[in-house]
Amino acid sequence: MSQKEKKTNRRDFLYTASYTVGAVGLGAVIWPLIDQMNPDKAQKALATTEVDITNIEPGKEITVLWRGKPVFLKRRTPEEIAEARSVKMDDLPDPQRDEERVKEGKDEWLVMLGVCTHLGCVPLKNKGDYKGWFCPCHGSHYDVSGRIRKGPAPKNMEIPKFEFVDNNTIKIG
Amino acid sequence: MSDKEYQPKSKAGKWFNDRLPLLTLGAHLTDYPTPKNLNYWWTFGGILTFCLLTQIITGIVLAMHYVAHADLAFASVEHIMRDVNYGWLIRYIHSNGASMFFLAVYIHIFRSLFYGSYKSPREVIWIIGLLIYLLMMAAAFMGYVLPWGQMSFWGATVITNLFSAIPLVGDSITTWLWGAYSVDNPTLNRFFSLHYLIPFLILGLVVLHIWALHVPGNNNPVGIDIKKPSKDTVPFHPYITIKDTFALLMFMIIFAGFVFFSPNVLGHSDNYIPANPLVTPAHIVPEWYLLPFYAILRSVPDKLGGVILMFGAIFILFVLPWLDTSKVRSAVFRPIYRQFYWIFVVDVLLLGYMGAMPAEGIYLVLARVGTIYYFLHFLVVLPVVGLLEKTDPIPLSISEPVLSGGAKLSMAKKDNEKF
C-alpha cells in the first residue's frame, strides 16, 4: 500500500467515469426544467403584427401592441427629420445616425419599441427636453429619433425588425 | 447537555421517544436556558414566526379563490374582496401581513445590529437570517404582482428588467424570466407558483435559524457570553413564552389596526387599475419595505452600476460579521459605534423616503449622499471604529455589576428600558 500511494488505479478511473456520467446525466435532466421557462410555441407564434398606416397624418403617432410590448409608429414631419439629422454624434450617449433608424426612402416613418431601455417603462410622447419622448419612471429623455439623450437609460429605443408590405401596411416582426 | 438526560414519564411516551425523540426536542425547547435580561427587542423572533404562519395560512386560503391568469387575476381578486365569505378580511390580513412581516424583520435586524448579535459565534445565524430576508423580498415582490393591477404589472416590468443590465446574457435571462417577450401571462403563472413555494423554503430556513441559535444560545443586551444554565439564565418556558406572548398581543393590535381601519394605506391606489401594457403609471414605487434599495438603484446614473449597488447594499450584509472589527458585541458598551448606529438608522430611513419621492432635484442629491453613507458605514466606519474605539468596561456576568461600582451596568439597564 504505502509504496504506491499516488498510482492511479482502477478505482480512480471508476470514480472519475461515474462522476462524469453522473454530471452529464444531471445536466440533461436539469436543462428541460430550465428551458421550459423560455417563451413557448404559442408565444413565438404571436411574433408578427401587421399595421395599417393609411390614416396617420404627418406629425402623428400611434401605438400598437407587438409581443406584449408597445410599438410606436410615428410619421415625422420634415422639420422633425431635419432636427433629428442635425444632431452631432458627440452629443449622443449611444451614437447612431437617424438614417440607420429608418428604412431608406421611408424616412418619415419611425417604427420603434416604445420601451425605455432603462427598466422597461413606456415613455410619454412629446415630452422631455428633446421634443421626443420622456420616461416618467426614472427620467430618461429621448429625441425625435428615439435616441437616448439624458438620464439613466443606456441605449436608444430599439428598432424592431419590420418591413413595408405595401405603401399602407407595415409588418412588425 | 442536559437534554440527553430527559426521560418521558409515561411508558408510552418512553416507547415513542426511544423511536423518535420528539419529546426530548420538546423538553429542550421548554427548558432552553435564556439570558434573563432579554428586553422586548428580543420578542420579534416569535412575532416573525407568527407573521410567517399568518401568511402561509391566509395564503393557502386565498389560493383557493385566486386565478393565476392574466385575463382573470384582477377580477378574481375583486371576487375575493366582494363575493367570497370573509374574503376581504383574509386578503387584507395577507396584504397587510406582508408589511407587518417586514416591519418586524427590520426591527429584528436592527436589534441584531445594535447588540452585535451577528458577531462570532453567531455568524451562521445571521447569514441564514439574511437568506430568509432575501426570500421574503422575492415572495413579497411576486405576491405584489399577483393582483395584476397597474403597479403589479409595472413593478414586475421594472424589477425583471434589472436583470437585463447584466452584460451579454441579460436580455436572454429577462426573456427566460418572463417566458414571453414582455411581462405577460406566463410570467404571472410562474410567479404564482414560486410565491406559493417560497414561504415553505422560508419555513425550512427558520428551522435552521433556530437550530443555529440554540447552539451558542441567545445573545443578550449586555452582549457577554454567559454560562448556561446559571443564575444568569431562565428557562424559555414560562419566562420567555409569556413575554413573547405579551409582545405578540401588542403587535397584533397594531396589525389589526391596519387591517380594520386603514387596510390600503400601505398599498398604492394604482394597483386597483387593471394592468395595461400600453400605459406606465406616472410614479412607479415599490412597496415601502423596498424603498431604501430602490433609492439606491435610482441614485446611480448608470443602469448596470445602479443594479450592482442595489444588490451590493444587501449582499454587503453577508460579510458584516467580518467587517465589524470590534470584539465587543453590545453597542451599550461602544460609545462611538452607538452614535454611528443611529446615524445609520437615520440614513436608511432617509433612503426610504427618497425612494418614495421622484428621482430629481434635491431628492436625487440626498439619495446619492444617503447611498454613499450607506456603504461608508459598512466599509469604513465599522472596520475603523472597531479598531480605534475605547469601549466601556464590560460586566463579568449579567447578575454581577462591573468592577466594583456597577454604574455602567445600571446605565446599560437604563438604556435597555428606554427601548
pLDDT in tens, A97-112: 888 888 888 888 899 9
Same domain, yes or no, for B343 and B212?
Answer: no
Instruction: Kindly tell me if the per-residue pLDDT of A164 is higher than 50.
Output: yes
Smallest CA–CA distance, residue A111 to chain B, in Å, is 16
Range in A100-104, B347-351, B371-375 with the lowest mean pLDDT: A100-104
Q: What is the pLDDT of residue B361?
A: 84
Distance, C-alpha B131 to centroid of its chain: 10
For residue A160, the chain B residues in CB contact (below 8 A) are: none
- Whether A152 and B282 lie within 8 Å, measured CB to CB: no
Model pLDDT, residue B300: 87
CA–CA distance, B303 with B409 (Å, rounded to integer): 50
Q: Do B246 and B389 fall within a single domain?
A: no
In the block, residue with C-alpha cell 456597577: B406
State whether B182 and A122 contact (CB < 8 Å): no
Is B189 in the same domain as B222? yes
B243 and B347: one domain?
no
Tens digits of residue pLDDT in B120-157 = 999 999 999 999 999 999 999 999 999 999 999 999 99
Close Cβ partners of B120 (under 8 Å, ≥ 6 residues apart): B321
Check CB contact of A48 with chain B, cutoff 8 Å.
Answer: no
CB-CB under 8 Å, A122 with B184:
no
Of the candidates B164, B151, B182, B137, the residue with the CA atom closest to the CA atom of residue B303: B164
In-domain check, residue B152: yes
- Nearest Cα of chain A lies from the Cα of B359 at a distance, in angstroms, of 6
CB B106 within 8 A of CB B44: no
Backbone phi and psi for residue B194, each to the nearest 5 degrees, phi listed first: -70, -35
Same domain, B242 and B139: yes
Residue A18, pLDDT score? 96
* Cβ <8 Å between A139 and B300: no
**Minimum mean pLDDT range among A10-24, A103-117, B354-368, B393-407:** B393-407
**What is the predicted pLDDT for the residue at A2?**
53
Strand order from edge to edge, sheet including A131-135: A124-125, A131-135, A140-143, A148-150
- Please identify, among B284, B314, B341, the residue that sits at the C-terminal boundary of a domain: B284
Confirm if A34 and B190 have CB atoms less than 8 A apart: no
How big is the CA angle at B192 (ends B189 and B195), to the nearest 5 degrees? 150
Tell me, yes or no, whether B20 lies in a domain: no
- pLDDT exceeding 90 applies to what percent of chain A? 25
Q: Which residues of B touch A152 (CB under 8 A)?
A: 298, 300-303, 306
Residue B201 lies in a domain: yes
Least confident of B208-222, B248-262, B271-285: B271-285
Q: How many CB pairs under 8 A join A and B?
A: 89
The pLDDT value recorded for residue A3 is 57
- The answer to whether A153 faces chain B, any CB pair under 8 Å, is yes
pLDDT tens figures, A120-162: 889 988 888 888 899 888 888 999 889 998 888 889 999 988 8
pLDDT digits (tens, 9 = 90+) for A13-29: 999 999 999 999 999 99
Q: What residues of A act catalytically? A: 138
Give residue B229's pLDDT band: very low, low, confident or very high (50, 70, 90): confident
Yes or no, beta carbons of A152 and B306 under 8 Å apart = yes
Whether A43 contacts chain B with CB within 8 A:
yes
pLDDT band at A5 (very low <50, low <70, confident <90, very high): low
End position of a domain, from candidates B284, B304, B332: B284
- Helix spans in B43-184 (H): 44-63, 73-82, 87-115, 123-145, 150-161, 170-178
Q: Do A65 and B282 touch (CB under 8 A)?
A: no
Q: Are residues B275 and B348 in the same domain?
A: no
Are A37 and B277 within 8 A, CB to CB?
no
Q: Which of A154, A155, A66 is nearest to B277 (CA)?
A: A66
Same domain, B103 and B235: yes
Residue A9 has pLDDT above 90, yes or no: no
Which residue of chain B is at minimal alpha-carbon distance from A62? B278
**Closest Cα in chain B to A42:** B180
Nearest to A69 among B162, B181, B279 (CB): B181
**Residue B280 is nearest to which of A34, A37, A121, comparing CB atoms?**
A121
Which sign, positive or negative, has the C-alpha torsion B45, B50, B51, B57?
A: positive
pLDDT at B418: 42
Statement to judge: residues B306 and B260 lie in one domain: no
Count structural domains, chain B.
Answer: 2
Asked if the structure places residue B69 within a domain, the reply is yes
- Strand order across the beta sheet in which A169-172 lies: A49-52, A169-172, A162-166
pLDDT of residue B227: 86
Are B343 and B350 in contact, with CB atoms under 8 Å apart?
Answer: no
Q: Verify cis geometry, omega within 30 degrees of 0, for the bond prior to B383.
A: no
Q: Are residues B226 and B299 in the same domain?
A: no
Domain holding B231, by residue range, is: 33-284
pLDDT at B384 over 60: yes
Q: Which of A68, A118, A137 minimises the CB distance to B181?
A: A68
Same domain, B225 and B361: no
Strand partners, A124: A134
Looking at the structure, do residues B300 and B267 belong to the same domain, yes or no?
no
pLDDT at B401: 56
B3 assigned to some structural domain? no
* Contacts with A, B 319-348, CB within 8 Å: none
One domain for residues B346 and B275: no
Residue B16 lies in a domain: no
In a domain, B17, yes or no: no
Q: What is the pLDDT of residue B143?
A: 97
Mean pLDDT of B309-317: 96
Please check whether residue B145 is in contact with residue B215, taking contact to mean a CB–CB distance below 8 angstroms. Answer: no
Report the distance separating Cα B112 and Cα B329, nearest Å. Answer: 10
Which cell numbers in the block locate residue B294?
430602490
- Contact with chain B for residue A171, Cβ under 8 A: no
d(CA B404, CA B411): 14
| Predicted confidence (pLDDT) at residue B203 exceeds the cutoff of 80 | yes
Residues of B in contact with A67 (CB under 8 A): 180-182
Average pLDDT over residues A23-49: 90
pLDDT at position B413: 45
3-state secondary structure of A140: strand
- The domain boundary, picked from B284, B308, B341, lies at B284
Q: Cβ of A125 under 8 Å from any chain B Cβ?
A: no
Dihedral in degrees, nearest 10, Cα atoms B385, B387, B391, B394: 130
Q: Which of A43, A119, A154 sits opposite B158 (nearest CB)?
A: A119
Helix (H) or strand (E) holding B27: helix B22-31
Confirm or reject contact between A93 and chain B (CB < 8 A). Answer: no
Q: Which of A37-51, B375-389, B392-406 has the highest mean pLDDT?
A: B375-389
Residue B278 sits in a domain whose CATH number is 1.20.810.10
The partner residue sitting opposite A121, judged by closest CB among B158, B176, B302, is B158
DSSP per-residue string spanning B158-213: HHHHGGGGSTTTHHHHHHHHHTSSSS-HHHHHHHHHHHHHHHHHHHHHHHHHHHHH
Q: Is the pLDDT of residue B242 over 70?
A: yes
Q: Is residue B335 part of a domain?
A: yes
Q: B360 to chain A nearest CA, in Å?
A: 8
Question: Amino acid letter at B368?
Answer: R
**B343 forms bridges with which residues in the sheet?**
none
Q: Does A45 touch chain B (CB under 8 A)?
A: no
**Taking a contact as any Cβ pair under 8 Å apart, which residues of chain B between 68 and 87 contact chain A?**
none
Reported as a single tens digit per residue, the pLDDT across B29-71 is: 999 999 999 999 999 999 999 999 999 999 999 999 999 999 9
Q: Are B251 and B104 in contact (CB under 8 A)?
A: yes
Whole-number mean pLDDT of chain B? 92
